[in-house]
Structure 1
Amino acid sequence: MFTQLIALAVMALPEARAHGGVLSISIGDAWYDGWQPYDSPVGQTSIIRPWSSYNPITDATDPTLSCNDDGASPALQLTAPITAGEEITAYWNQPWPHPYGPMLVYMAQCPGTTCTGVNSDTLEWFKIDESGLINGTVYDGFWGDGLMIADNSSWTTTIPATIPSGSYLIRFETIALHSLPAQFYPECAQLDVSGGGTQAPASYELVTFPGAYSATDPGLTIDIYSNEAQTETTYPIPGPPLYGSPPVRSPKPSSTTSVASSSTGSATGTGTTTAPSSTPTGPTIPEYGQCGGTGWAGATLCASPFTCQVINGTYSGSHCLTGYHAYAPIC
């Protein structure tokens, strides 16, 4: 009997280690410890909203989907100050074990002067960052989740400079696609944004949790181990369009070239339209796009302000990034 118990415990260990969440957050030089989900909530204080388990959410309509709990703030909830246009970084447990799937970041403005006491289920969220299938195939390509792992199991995003100042929740989410149903790992933190602009999210950019996803979303029902996945090179990122994106309209004939963010990578701005140039400057690669590596024969010029960087020795490729990502720039 004892031997059987030991065997069951060993079998359970990989499953327990295969999950987790956001354990801390940094803003500039300020460091904020996260919520401890398996400790007593009594006396805990953090800018991160309470969450109760390392286990994933596996239902796109789960009532805990907004912030991985009942949506309430604790008795000792903290709020971090941040300036619009400033970066914020979330840190997951290391090493994060799920490299296949998208990374997403949402924000929601709270009514009044604080988010404390506001249930996250009542808010309308807008997406400020996303990264899906960066390159390769759905079956064995390089994903946003893989980029997070390569950057020391962390994800840095920028608070849009144009959002109005006020009290916000920010929601970091990784979705793992290695099994079906898909696994959601969301965590939220409270922010007090100052120095903002005047561009409130458009109605078509706003969603609720639950409500933003459905059980039939192609980006959540995709089987990355199917025969089709071995040749598929596009992935529809779940959720609304990015904040600042133009509304989707039927295409019209035009003499100009539309330059817009791809749903297979990451985007942080709006689509723009530019006239053809009489002085070609060569192809430029967007943020997170591949720009080099073993056997790479494609373009190598990154769009400004990104540089081509080797991000991890595990991957035989380099990608267009901003800032410093574990290794020095190569071009």
Structure 2
Amino acid sequence: MVFKLTSVVALVAALALTGNAQKQIQGISFANNKDAPNDSYNLPKNALAVAPISDLNSKAFACRTNGLNFPSIKSYSATGGEMFLVAWDMNSLNSTEGPKLNGPCNHWMASTAAGTDNLKWFRIGEFGYSADEGWCTDKIRREGQLVVSMPDDLLPGEYIFRTEVIDLTYAGKTNADDPTMGAQFYPNCLKYNYSGGKNPKEVTTGLVSFPGAYLATDQGLLLNLTADGKPPGGKYTVPGPALHNQTGP
């Protein structure tokens, strides 16, 4: 099964744009929670830093923060099939200050059963490019947020959800070849408890580490966008391992 992105009514965001090409996420919550706009309480400390990451070997690559120091103010127990709500600041994304982001979104999860020192991530969703809808970043600019389906076949326990936008504006060269270039990553994370789903089983395939999951020369990370921000030839493949439970192409 492929977990696809859908959309819901946009949230009101109030975060400011800081600096050139620095866009901001409002927070991550649960779409079925009546307190959704205010419940991104399990984000790591300093996770909402606005600067993207271009260094694929950065220790902050997983969640755009040094370490995974999650607060323990509250705990939310989610069930299989529930929806993550990822809200972005529409004002900053639509701002004419700085270049416009163009690129895909990837969504990941990792179990913390063995601790957080060497997390193994698996991909649960993506949104790349289509002629009808454009990039994932275009979808975010239109709607302000994304909704991502949670897998319903995982073992109960604590997990980290990771969402990332990949900006390809400067992806014509790698960051190693030119420090001013390279794909730019905007990841954020949310820790939560999972109470279980249908036919729970341990995830054993498609597991990767951050940093390490991406190479600068990966398909989808090294390319020159057209003048109007489209992928070459109008086709694009989102980087990363196969989606969890993917049954089709």
TM-score (norm. length: structure 1): 0.58
Give, in whole Å, the separation in 1 of the partners of 2:231 and 2:25: 31
Mean Cα deviation higher: 192-201 or 17-26: 17-26
Give, in whole Å, the separation in 1 of the partners of 2:151 and 2:70: 27
Q: 1:102 aligns with which of 87, 101, 104?
A: 104
- What secondary structure does 2:233 align onto? coil
User: Which residue number in structure 2 is paired with residue 31 of structure 1?
Assistant: 36
Deviations 1:310-330 (A, max 9, x none): xxxxxxxxxxxxxxxxxxxxx
TM superposition shift of 1:131: 0.7
Amino acid at match of 2:152: A
Larger-gyration structure (1/2): 1
Give, in whole Å, the separation in 2 of the partners of 1:64 and 1:164: 27
Deviations 1:21-59 (A, max 9, x none): 332233211325477xxxxxxxxxx21112262111012
Gap runs ≥5 in structure 1: 1-12, 36-45, 113-117, 246-269, 273-331
- What secondary structure does 1:271 align onto? coil
User: Which residue number in structure 1 is paired with residue 135 of structure 2?
Assistant: 143
User: Which residue number in structure 1 is paired with residue 6 of structure 2?
Assistant: none
Alignment check: 8 A CA contact 1:21 1:186 kept:
no
User: Which residue number in structure 2 is paired with residue 207 of structure 1?
Assistant: 208
Deviations 1:41-91 (A, max 9, x none): xxxxx2111226211101222221101112221454543221111111011
User: Which residue number in structure 1 is paired with residue 43 of structure 2?
Assistant: 48
Is 2:156 aligned against 1:156? no
Gap runs ≥5 in structure 2: 1-15, 95-99, 172-181
Give, in whole Å, the separation in 2 of the partners of 1:24 and 1:166: 22
Deviations 1:180-228 (A, max 9, x none): 311100000011111323233232x11110011011112111110379x
Question: Structure 1 pair 34/64, CA: closer, same or farther in 2 (3 Å)?
Answer: farther
Question: Larger relative contact order (C-alpha < 8 A, sep ≥ 6)?
Answer: 2
Give, in whole Å, the separation in 2 of the partners of 1:166 and 1:184: 28
Question: Structure 1 pair 92/206, CA: closer, same or farther in 2 (3 Å)?
Answer: same
- What secondary structure does 1:218 align onto? coil
Question: Structure 1 pair 199/76, CA: closer, same or farther in 2 (3 Å)?
Answer: closer
Give, in whole Å, the separation in 1 of the partners of 2:72 and 2:42: 9
Alignment check: 8 A CA contact 1:99 1:149 kept:
no
User: Which residue number in structure 2 is paired with residue 90 of structure 1?
Assistant: 86
Q: Determine what percentage of the aligned residue pairs are the same residue.
A: 28
TM-score (norm. length: structure 2): 0.76
Question: Structure 1 pair 217/34, CA: closer, same or farther in 2 (3 Å)?
Answer: farther
